[in-house]
A and B are shown apart, each in its own frame.
Chain A
Amino acid sequence: NAGVTQTPKFQVLKTGQSMTLQCAQDMNHNSMYWYRQDPGMGLRLIYYSASEGTTDKGEVPNGYNVSRLNKREFSLRLESAAPSQTSVYFCASSEGGQGPSGANVLTFGAGSRLTVL
């Protein structure tokens, strides 16, 4: 049971390059999320998808785009990378809705460490 799988695990980019971070979950979860975590800091929400076919901005969406490709997959794209986007990126998923095992029981991936030079 893989849970949430993120690729790549590590990536180094030059300023201005583009790339896509991939995320897939095998738990049949409805909701998916992208967070970034800078060194020594907490988690900040970039974008989320409450259900297949919907995406919404989080706290720090500038410089990113997302695609909810299907129920399993949620990708994060950096169109023109900047050094300020150097961070660890975490994808997470949840069943959604309310109540136990609902909206805020998140399963996280292992993270993708991105360095922009």
Chain B
Amino acid sequence: LAKTTQPISMDSYEGQEVNITCSHNNIATNDYITWYQQFPSQGPRFIIQGYKTKVTNEVASLFIPADRKSSTLSLPRVSLSDTAVYYCLVPPGSAGNKLTFGGGTRVLVKP
């Protein structure tokens, strides 16, 4: 199973860049990495997906090294509204669709 490990929490200040790294040592060859954002009292929201190298969209960038054993979500110039929990998700390989989340990273953006 491609289990994921992330830091439990991170603090930042408005305008800074936040980088969250997720370890997934057993990722399968064909699997994509996805990241989600969850605000209090809401369901998680998909924000970005990648397979290798770098992916960028209007919300974040995702950096994936050649060995794909980790990935780093980068949030540029965060604001107070970026305070949330961020989860990485990797498919479980041979376990098919049994999608289990790790504990996520709680990001607190301070003024």
Contacts and interface: CB of A to CB of B under 8 A. Distances in A.
A, B bound: yes
A24 interface: no
Interface in B12-49: 30-32, 34, 36, 41-46, 49
A56 B98 contact: yes
A106 B97 contact: no
A42 interface: yes
Contacts of A107: 46
Interface stretch (A13-21, A67-75, A79-87, A95-103): A95-103
Contacts of B44: 43, 90, 92, 106, 108
A105 B49 contact: yes
Given A90-B44, A99-B32, A110-B43, A104 B98 contact: no
Interface of B: 30-32, 34, 36, 41-46, 49, 51, 85, 87, 89-91, 96-104
20 contacts: A41-B103, A42-B101, A42-B103, A44-B100, A48-B97, A58-B98, A58-B100, A92-B43, A94-B97, A94-B99, A98-B31, A98-B32, A98-B91, A103-B91, A103-B99, A104-B32, A104-B89, A105-B49, A111-B41, A111-B42
